[in-house]
Every structure is written in C-alpha cells, then in structure tokens.
Structure 1
C-alpha cells in the first residue's frame, strides 16, 4: 500500500525556498527557478512562496526575506502563508544553500510521483466508470493521462547550457571508443549493399527519422520488410513494425517469401510447387524465428499509441534496433485546422520519440498523385509537402521508383528499383539500385545495364514533353 507521506517532503520544499531566499542570484538558483513550477510543491503555502520568489526575480530584484514578504503583501498572500514569521522560520531552518540542487531534485521527483499517482487514478476511473464510452476512446483518454506525465518527465531532465570544453571532453571519449571499436559509433545498416555504400560510414544513425516516400506499387513495404529482417536477424537487434495497412499474417508471408526467395503464391496453392522450394520456406521459417522482430497490425493507431508500445519495448528489451511505421496518412491524427498541420505534429512527435528512445524510426509515406503528371516521375521530397513539414523534420528522405510500373515495355526486363537518398543530414546522397521481383528485394543482377536504360527513359520523357530529342 502506498504511503501518502512518501509523495512529498516538506523539509525539502522548505529547504528549496529557504536557499532561494538566502541566495537567489547564483547560477544554481536561477536554474532551479527556471525548472521548478509552483505545482511541484505539495503544500499550498509553499506554492505561493515559490511563485512570489519567481515574481521578485522576474523584476530583476534579489529575492530575500524582505522582498518576498513585500511581494506577498502586495498580492494579499502574506497572511495566507503564515506571515513574515514563517518566511523567517524557513530561512533559519535551511541547512545550507549549497545543497539547493539536491533539495530541488527531491522536490521534483516527489512531484512526478504525485503526477503519476493522479494519472493512474484517473485512468482507473476512466476504465471503471465511463463504460458508456467506446473502448477505443477510453484507451485514448488513458494514454493521454499517462502521456502528460511522460512529457512532464522529459521536460524536467533538460541538461541546460554547457560550456564547449565539457562537451569536447565527451566527444574525445566517443572518438576514442570508435577507434577501438569502429562498429560501436555507427548506426544500423540496411542489408542492401548499394544503399549501405551511400550511407557509409555512419549508416542510419540512432535518433534519426527516416522517411521513405513513393507512389503505390513501388515497393515501400517490401523495402522495409527487408530492412526489418536485416536488423532483427542479421544485426540481432529488436525491430518493431507498426503496420496500419497490412495484417500481420500477410506481412509474415512476405517476410518468408523475401527470406526464402520463393514466391508467396506457394502459401495459397502448393500444386506444382517443388519440394526444393518448400524446403527453402522451411529454412526461412527457422531463420525468422526470432523474438527480435515484433509486429503490431492495429489499424488507425495514433502517435500516442505507437509511442506507448515503443516505450514499453524499450523498458523490456533495452536498446532498440529500429522502429517502422507503415504509413503516415493511415495514422490517427489529432484535431487541427489543416491536414498538413496534423501530419506535421506526427512527424515532429516521431522525431522526438526517436531521440527519446535512441533508435532510428522509419516512416513510410504515400506521395501525392500529382507527381504522376510529370514526365519524369521519380519522387522528390517536395512531393511529400502536403503531409506536413516532412523535409524539415526528417534526417533522411528516401524516394523509391520503378520504371516498369509506368512502362509496359520494361516489364520482365530489368526489374529494377531505384532507391534514391535525396536528403541525408549526416552524409552522402545518391541512388542505389536493387532488383525487385515478385514483391522481393534482391541484388541487381546486371546493374551496369540499367544506366543506359535510365538515360533512355529520361530521353523518352523529354521527347514526350517537347516532341524532340534532348540533343
């Protein structure tokens, strides 16, 4: 049973207030005044006194017994807190102003404990009493209560400004560790050789937001499935996939097809299937039988729900290799004046979540159909502008293009996917080629044959537009 007295410390609260009235001009005091809030104090009188201290300091004055009491008298609060005598008692009983930071941390920790108790109590009340409200809405309301505590916790651990020499010392240690263990400081690889060559040496960094944009049928899900397999199996790191479109069974079938190199049609009709192919599928099942790959196919999830599950995974497994969301416009949005603002809030939230969990987040997005009116239909970051400020929020923007989707004469020919890294805040940009056959990503058999083909396709686009050759 929870002891209510463990949720506050009157001695710590008094010591914070006393230390501030002894010396309100020190850097520590200014930091405490900036980071604590009146409601972080349990006792109402202490909330009023702290508000007065902040009021005095905001007027460019020194907060002490006299100035704080005068401020309280002007705002008709002096008698409510016990008068000048209580202020004097607080100051007199403060052990040492030098321990202000420690006192403040204790006050903040107890405040967070109280917020958590309030949030969980409210969540229990929602679950038990509001049974006339649909279950999904009740779950959203409970998530909102807990999310508020999480955000408050994140805001309370700000490091503040630090001198560069202090940061340089950390950088030197980090570089030294990378030299000793080159893989330690790098992000994840994708398992696609040409793409990893472009992203080398940093790879996909931790805390990065990776946007993969394309029109339908270009292979977005196939690409992310290949990366999930690589991270979960080959890199042996937890890889979470939130699929808002495709059910988990279909995703798993596609993963088996990708891993085995066998068409997923064998899962629907085994007539004529070679024993050799089915053997490859069985081997793939063993290959993928890892607890590292996790799938949530709940439709229309909100950012709050995804963050809740991701944080739970972080608590359970420690470091996370990657998180993927398929795809942006299927996510449940908060109310906003325009769709682009609603989606912009999601991308900002995912970027913050990537930083919080220290892992990359891959966000798939379906691009505006207006790009198909262009003669060269290769996507660019500008094609995602109607879904928020993606260009500003993401660390990487990768566009997918397959020529055979638009031109029948290319089908069953080169079967190439262009994976174009068009924005990379941490390294190089460029276009990688991968084979794409039967919904599977595979090495390009003859990449050299694709360069003249790509030039030919661009020449065709120019000719269609201008009625002449480009030279």
Structure 2
C-alpha cells in the first residue's frame, strides 16, 4: 500500500488543534462527522476516540485524556504543543479526510483488481468489479458523512453521568434555571434542549425569560438574548427594575423618585454590572442569521450557556412552503442550533386566539400556532397562565402558573410563581396550589359542558 497519502505530522496537528481549541462548535461539528478511521497512525486514532468520548460529556481536556490513555500521554502532550495548528483546523481536516478517502479507494481498487485476476469466469470478474464500484460510491471525500457511535462507547458515559448526578456534579449536562421549584420538576435544561415558553399576550412570557436570564447569569454563565420585539434599552430597564425590586413603570416617573427608589435603582444596576449577558435587538432575522451569530459568539465567549429568542413569530421566514411547514423549518433550525453548540435555546411563542373562546382558558399544546411542527421539535414546553388576566377578582390574583405541558425526559405538572410589580417572585407551592385549585375546578366544570377539558383531572 502506498504511503503517499499518509501524513503523520498532519494527523498530529489535527489532534493538537482539537486539544487546544477544546469543545467549541466547529470542533464538535468535526467530531460528529469525522470517523477515527481517517487517522492512519494507530496512536492518533486511539487518541481521537478518547477525545470523542470526552466531547460527549461537553469537554475536551488533554490532561484528563492523559489519565485515560496513560500509554499515549507523551504523544498527547506533544501534539498539544502545536499552537499554529488552531486556526487551520478546518483545512487540515479536509486534507485528512481526502487522504483517507484516497487510501480507501486505493485499497478497494487493489482488492478488486486482484479478485478480477483470480476470477475463473466472466461472472466472477464482473461481481468483483461491481463490488469495487459500490465501495467507491460510498467513499466520503468532503467529510459530509455522519459518524455513528457504537453503544459500547456510550455505556461508560451513561454510568459516569449517573455518578455525576449522585455527586451533584452534572453541570456539564444540565443548565439550572435558578427557579428552584422549576428545576426540581425538570432536573434542569439539557444542553441540547429546545424550550418553548408560550402564552397569550400580557401573561409575562418575556418577564419569565428575563427572570431565567437573571438567574442563569447570576450563576456565572453567559446568555445571548435575541430581543426581536423590544429594543435593548427597554430590556435593560426591565432587568434593572426586576433586579432592584421595583416596577418598571417607576423608571418612567423619575421626577417622583424618593430615596428608596434611588436605592433600588442603584441596587439593580450593581447586581447586573459585570454579568455575561449579550443582547441583539435586530429585526427580521432569519433562523440562519440567529444560528450564525450564536455560533460565532459561542466560539468567542465559551461561557455562553443559554440562547433566548423573543419571539418565534418574529423570525423571518424565507421558505416558500406552506406556512405551518415554514414555521417548522424555523423550530427545527433552533433545535439544530442547540444540538450543534450544545447550548439550550429558549424560544418564546404566542398562542392562538382560540384560548379566549372557551371557558377554561388555561392553554394546552394545541393552542400553539402551527402546533404540530413546534410541539414535535420541542423538548420542553412551558405554558404561562395568570387567572387575574381574565378574572380581576380571582382568589388566585398575583399567582402565575407555569404549566409544563411537554417534557421529553420528565413529568408534566405545574410550578407556581408570585407575580408582583410585573416581576416573578418565589411563592409557597402548596399555598399557590390551594388558591388556584378552586378556579381550575370551576373552569373545568364549565368547560366540560361543551367538550372535554384537558384540565379535568386538576
């Protein structure tokens, strides 16, 4: 076999560049489509397999890799000392894949030629030729193939993940919202999840998203927020007012500020200063523009752990397909973004007016506009409801319900929050449930006269 299409230095440079760059989006994309077989050097092939195993847990660390592969530690550390390889990784990978394809083609043709020469009749020779054609047709030259993972490679990681959960060390897989009762119900948001917060207008979708952004950034994580409905300054005012514990409307009455107002404003600004929060308030962004921006910013700021989009209907649709299918393309694009960057995406969504036409106005998944596509793509759907919006004298006044109507990896249910001065605050769950229960039962009875209620079991 010819050695022309083998380059040990190139293979070492690829391993080194991956180790130096860590689990950034481009590296993760490369790992998802490049098989270990592209490496002709056995040591590099084994190191690459070890890197892929690490990456499935959200990290790439050469020192930890040395502990896993002690016999190859010298090779790992040597490869990790090639700083000039970082920026050229993509080009090196394409050459590596091309060389591997040429080696595979050379092997296929050599074996086919040998089989044809040894053939005892024409049929056997043709069979050898057809076999070679089939092999050649599936050889990947451009690195566009998907790289399947064997179950044996995943099982040790499943065990490690369970052990991490036992020790409370699973930060790499789940992002806690900081809303304790919600985190208990969901176990946190998985790093590849697409989450929808849905509600009718005035229920507090944006405010809940800002509450989560506040608590996630308070943990030291970064957040990228696409505010397509409100300007950055408006979002900033709402965040400062929430952090200071004052209604946002108070910021519009500065001429009537008292000492307490100034103190709360100062507290809010101080709390948010230095937080890793980035905001984009551009209009008419496509899902591709959102994905490119999020990926670029994630590469520049690896601390970003959450992307929030406000809201789904304002994302520009380029597809000429039927509208519900075009919306599905958008939701699928957001899901791809979450998987590619290993950063969960929260998207806000409006509900159809059909909610208003029935006695029981608590939303359900069928109320999502174009719900078939959105519901299928979502990993978690949270529906907001405040009874006081429809019943001003409701016993549940001041209580917001976060109804979990879909959770791919967990149970459904309701989490309660206090809604005061336009902001979400903690509330005793048993007290809130008791205050909302009579309203649920009453609405369920009224609604059941016309048709069966989704909430009849409440």
> What is the aligned counterpart of 2:154 among 145, 159, 167?
167
- Is residue 220 from structure 1 mapped to residue 205 from structure 2 by the alignment? yes
The alignment partner of 1:160 has SS state of: coil
Q: Which structure 1 segments of 5+ residues have no match?
A: 26-55, 72-103, 109-152
Corresponding position of 1:426 = 409
Question: 1:17-96 alignment to 2 at 5 Å?
Answer: 17-23=105-111, 61-63=130-132
Q: Within 2, Cα distance between the matches of 1:60 and 1:325?
A: 54
Structure-1-length-normalised TM-score: 0.66
Residues 420, 216 of structure 1: alpha-carbon distance in 2 compared, 3 angstrom cutoff? same
What is the Cα deviation at residue 458 of structure 1? 3.5
Question: 1:242-391 alignment to 2 at 5 Å?
Answer: 242-386=226-370, 389-391=373-375
Q: Within 1, Cα distance between the matches of 2:129 and 2:369?
A: 45
Corresponding position of 2:43 = none
The alignment partner of 2:203 has SS state of: coil
Larger deviation, residues 185-194 vs 355-364? 185-194
Larger deviation, residues 271-280 vs 173-182? 173-182
Q: Is the 8 A contact 2:307 2:345 kept in 1?
A: yes
Residues 19, 213 of structure 1: alpha-carbon distance in 2 compared, 3 angstrom cutoff? same
Q: Within 1, Cα distance between the matches of 2:348 and 2:285?
A: 14
Corresponding position of 2:400 = 417
- Is residue 199 from structure 1 mapped to residue 287 from structure 2 by the alignment? no
Q: Within 2, Cα distance between the matches of 1:12 and 1:445?
A: 61
What is the Cα deviation at residue 248 of structure 1? 0.5
Q: Within 2, Cα distance between the matches of 1:334 and 1:356?
A: 22
Q: Root-mean-square deviation (CA), in Å? A: 3.4
What is the Cα deviation at residue 61 of structure 1? 2.7
Q: Within 2, Cα distance between the matches of 1:8 and 1:186?
A: 33
Corresponding position of 1:80 = none
Q: Is the 8 A contact 2:197 2:346 kept in 1?
A: yes
Residues 290, 231 of structure 1: alpha-carbon distance in 2 compared, 3 angstrom cutoff? same
Q: Within 1, Cα distance between the matches of 2:240 and 2:312?
A: 25
Residues 62, 306 of structure 1: alpha-carbon distance in 2 compared, 3 angstrom cutoff? same
Residues 23, 178 of structure 1: alpha-carbon distance in 2 compared, 3 angstrom cutoff? farther
Corresponding position of 1:74 = none
Q: Within 1, Cα distance between the matches of 2:185 and 2:267?
A: 31
What is the Cα deviation at residue 216 of structure 1? 0.3
Q: Is the 8 A contact 2:415 2:429 kept in 1?
A: no
The alignment partner of 1:159 has SS state of: coil
Q: Within 1, Cα distance between the matches of 2:112 and 2:155?
A: 30
Q: Is the 8 A contact 2:399 2:432 kept in 1?
A: no
Q: Is the 8 A contact 1:231 1:237 kept in 2?
A: yes
What is the Cα deviation at residue 393 of structure 1? 0.7
Corresponding position of 1:400 = 384
Q: Which structure 2 segments of 5+ residues have no match?
A: 1-87, 114-125, 451-455
What is the Cα deviation at residue 319 of structure 1? 4.5
Q: Within 2, Cα distance between the matches of 1:180 and 1:446?
A: 27
Deviation string 1:286-336 (CA, Å, 9 cap, x unpaired) is 211125111101012110110011001111112431101111111101223
Q: Within 1, Cα distance between the matches of 2:307 and 2:195?
A: 10
Residues 180, 340 of structure 1: alpha-carbon distance in 2 compared, 3 angstrom cutoff? same
Deviation string 1:82-107 (CA, Å, 9 cap, x unpaired) is xxxxxxxxxxxxxxxxxxxxxx89x5
Q: Within 2, Cα distance between the matches of 1:335 and 1:454?
A: 44
Q: Within 2, Cα distance between the matches of 1:193 and 1:395?
A: 20
Q: Within 2, Cα distance between the matches of 1:218 and 1:353?
A: 27
Q: Is the 8 A contact 2:244 2:265 kept in 1?
A: yes
Matched residues, number: 347
Corresponding position of 1:184 = 171
Of structures 1 and 2, the larger Rg is shown by 1
Corresponding position of 1:208 = 193
Q: Is the 8 A contact 1:414 1:450 kept in 2?
A: no
Residues 22, 293 of structure 1: alpha-carbon distance in 2 compared, 3 angstrom cutoff? same
Q: Is the 8 A contact 1:302 1:333 kept in 2?
A: yes
Q: Within 2, Cα distance between the matches of 1:12 and 1:264?
A: 61
What is the Cα deviation at residue 284 of structure 1? 1.4
